[in-house]
Amino acid sequence: MVLGGGPLGAIIGRYPSAAAGDDEQGDPGPGGSVIRHDRKCRDWPFLFLFAAFWVAMIVNSSFGFNQGNPLRLTYGLDYKGNICGSRHGDPDLRELDVRYWLNPNQVYQSGLKTSHIELPDAKAICLMECPLPAEDGLNFVCDYPEGDIRLSVDDWIDRDYDYFEYLTPDMRNSSLQLQGPCYPVIFPSVNVYWSCQFIARASNASLKHWKDMGGVSIDENMLIDETIHDAINSKSAVMKRYVADIGKSWPVLILCGGLLPLFLSVIWLLMIRFFVAGMSWITVVVFNALVISVTMFFYIKAGWIGHDPLTVVIGESDPYVSIGGREINHLHAASVLMTVIMILAFLTSIAIARRIMIATSVLKVAAKVIGEVQALIIFPVVPYFILAIFYMFWFSATLHLFSAGQVIRNDCNNDCCSYDLKLGKVNCDSCCGYSIHYTPHIGIAILFHFFGCYWATQFFIGCSSTIIAGSVASYYWARGEISRDIPFHTVVSSLKRLLRYSLGSVALGSLIVSIIEWVRFILESLRRRLKFVDSARESRLGKAVSSSSQCCLGCIDWTLKSVNRNAYVMIAITGKGFFKASVLATELIMNNILRIGKVNVIGDVILLLGKLCVSLLCALFAFLMLDEHKYRSGHNKISSPLVPVLLSWVLGYIVAKLFFAVVEMSIDTMVLSFCQDSEEHQGSAQYAPPLLMETLDEESELRRLTQGQGP
């Protein structure tokens, strides 16, 4: 294999015993003269690009921290532009977090297609709880006390927001015209995600008292119900609630997305070290059990099993009224998806059952390396804590960026009037309400924020993988002569080489994967949007092109991730730049594809199942924690367990990937080193440990499989 004028053996294989080598600084160490020669900084412009990206991330997040308020994600605005539940409102609304629309006729008119009134312009105030009609009389809800109304906010609350008896004749006449300051409670309402959802079932007793007092006619159409329901369940409102769920469920994310996968991953590595013979079977069985368990929990929350489905109502609700939302539909979709995954998992387990023996032999190689270089079990804790700090900052910035819009008064053309207590008269100049307005640059900032998270995650995982590969390469090329007195030496030396020479290469590799992944995301978003816009006219050719392009991008993404992993191995061994290391790794694999292909594939499948076991167990525990009373009622009630569970799943997978990289990179590094060793010594590897020789030797492998299948 020739590259750049000479074989890779000119870089590695022609060096004598690695155990006696010194690095450039004269530090002796295992594998020194093999992997520490002729190194220099590679791909350094991309390291500067990564540093500039971090500066941009900090600036971008600072914008969110300055302009955002996470309360906006959960609570609505009143007619003054105050956020319900905020202590900085006028008046102090820290205990008043439920938005209530005072004028039922305005709500009805905002639902008419021919009306100029929009629901954000309908007069709304903040209350402690949604009011209910009186059983044999008429209740009123009055505006915030001010002006001639000499009541404190606490007294107003104690009176159930009703000071109708204190009104002057002019105020009473204005109230009977539905112009305030007091409004009748005609319709029952329930607290749905901190907004009072009207139920179009008017109280006959209250309506009769209202008419007897001379009040104007009140519309009783179902539209009063549907208008608020549509507003509460709009796409933007649901997205805000999902982001708010992240902030409310942070203890779940810390435990199930951080601490639990750390514990489980370490346990899995220790079991690989001391109980490798049965780990393949254990992983397959546990994986299937967890997939079934998580699927059943989705069924329960979707209401398909049992009597404990998700409810959108905060507090007690009318058992005769069924109120749904988008969150329930999303849980139904997730349940269907988990059912498909469960079936595929079962079929995959059957397909690989006869190949478990190969996976066991591959894992034994990794167990041997971990047993010799014991620091590898502990090392992933370092990138784990770095990522943990990054994610805490990132999630906090996410909450603020999603709430970074400006509260601006609406521009409306309504003909409406309401009593202004400060002016002491009816005012027809302030009909417009307030809304949170998002400018296009906020959307760009959010997309950049998500891209930054993906790139940073790939970068830290790449750094960890490169350090592990360097440590394992030192072990291989030293013929296993690792000093027992300094078990951390190979890891520390590999870390030094990464920091001094190869950070730019890792930054480049992680950037390429991130760009491909985001191109897939953007094209998929465009495809869905075009599908909704012109679904009827989409031709079969267009559908075929769309599907094939997505398939091609998916294959490219998978290939790049695989190439990246092997490139990190060659970067750790040779010190070459990313592209040259990728070529070296690819040529080695292609020249030995028949020898290592089936061994590596089945090993990767078992490792993938292991990662999924950890992440699925995290998701299962997240379900159990979110099923507690704390997250099902009150201010900590989450709108849906879907996002916290999926985040726990993703975070658990990332943590598992960090720790499982010890096994993954050990196998890949040993295999690539074995291939090069064989090529440099006419097909007979000189540095390979006996266990690796036995695993990769085709004749012994076939003999072992035959003996294993005989009984």
71-119 pLDDT, tens digit each: 999 999 998 889 998 888 788 888 899 999 999 988 998 888 887 788 8
Same-domain check for residues 280 and 180: no
CA-CA-CA-CA torsion sign (528, 534, 539, 542): negative
Cα(458)–Cα(561) distance, integer angstroms: 10
pLDDT value, residue 554: 64
User: Is there a cis peptide before residue 181, judged by omega within 30 degrees of 0?
Assistant: yes
Same-domain check for residues 246 and 223: no
| Range of lowest pLDDT (20-24, 546-550, 575-579, 652-656) | 20-24
- Asked if residue 68 belongs to a domain, the reply is no
Same-domain check for residues 198 and 290: no
Cα(13)–Cα(566) distance, integer angstroms: 18
| Predicted confidence (pLDDT) per residue in 645-694, tens digit | 999 999 999 999 999 989 888 888 888 888 877 777 776 777 777 777 77
pLDDT value, residue 467: 92
Terminal alpha carbon distance of the chain: 43
- Asked if residue 470 belongs to a domain, the reply is yes
In three-state secondary structure terms, 15 is coil
- The mean of the pLDDT values for the chain is 82
Same-domain check for residues 247 and 288: yes
pLDDT value, residue 10: 36
Percent of the chain residues topping a pLDDT of 90: 31
Same-domain check for residues 616 and 640: yes
Q: Torsion angle of alpha carbons 303, 129, 420, 168, nearest 10°?
A: 130
Nearest to 276 by CA among 356, 367, 353, 349: 367
| Predicted confidence (pLDDT) per residue in 204-239, tens digit | 889 999 998 988 998 888 888 889 999 999 988 999
In three-state secondary structure terms, 203 is coil
Cα(165)–Cα(701) distance, integer angstroms: 93
Nearest to 383 by CA among 44, 662, 612, 578: 662
Same-domain check for residues 124 and 253: no
3-state SS, 633-663, equals CHHHCCCCCHHHHHHHHHHHHHHHHHHHHHH
Q: Is 316 exposed, middle or buried (0-12, 13-18, 19+ CB in 10 A)?
A: exposed
- Among 174, 208, 233, identify where a domain stops: 233
Check residue 645 and give left, alpha or beta (phi > 0: left; psi -120 to 50: alpha): alpha
Cα(187)–Cα(198) distance, integer angstroms: 6
pTM of the model: 0.85
| Range of lowest pLDDT (10-19, 159-168, 565-574) | 10-19
What is the count of structural domains for the chain? 2
Average confidence (pLDDT) over 260-276: 89
Same-domain check for residues 170 and 264: no
Same-domain check for residues 151 and 223: yes
Same-domain check for residues 189 and 135: yes
- Asked if residue 18 belongs to a domain, the reply is no
- Asked if residue 636 belongs to a domain, the reply is yes
- Among 198, 233, 268, identify where a domain stops: 233
pLDDT value, residue 706: 43
Same-domain check for residues 125 and 211: yes
Same-domain check for residues 563 and 590: yes
Its domain, for residue 348, covers 236-310+324-404+413-436+444-530+551-701
Average confidence (pLDDT) over 483-504: 78
- Asked if residue 15 belongs to a domain, the reply is no
pLDDT value, residue 359: 72
| Predicted confidence (pLDDT) per residue in 401-446, tens digit | 999 888 888 887 767 788 888 888 888 777 788 888 888 888 899 9
pLDDT value, residue 576: 87
- Among 233, 263, 278, identify where a domain stops: 233
| Predicted confidence (pLDDT) per residue in 17-55, tens digit | 333 334 444 444 444 445 655 678 888 899 999 999 999
- Asked if residue 36 belongs to a domain, the reply is no
- Asked if residue 619 belongs to a domain, the reply is yes
DSSP letters of 119-154?
A: GGGS-EEEESS-----SSS--EEEPPP-TT----HH
- Asked if residue 14 belongs to a domain, the reply is no
Same-domain check for residues 475 and 511: yes
Cα(18)–Cα(573) distance, integer angstroms: 12
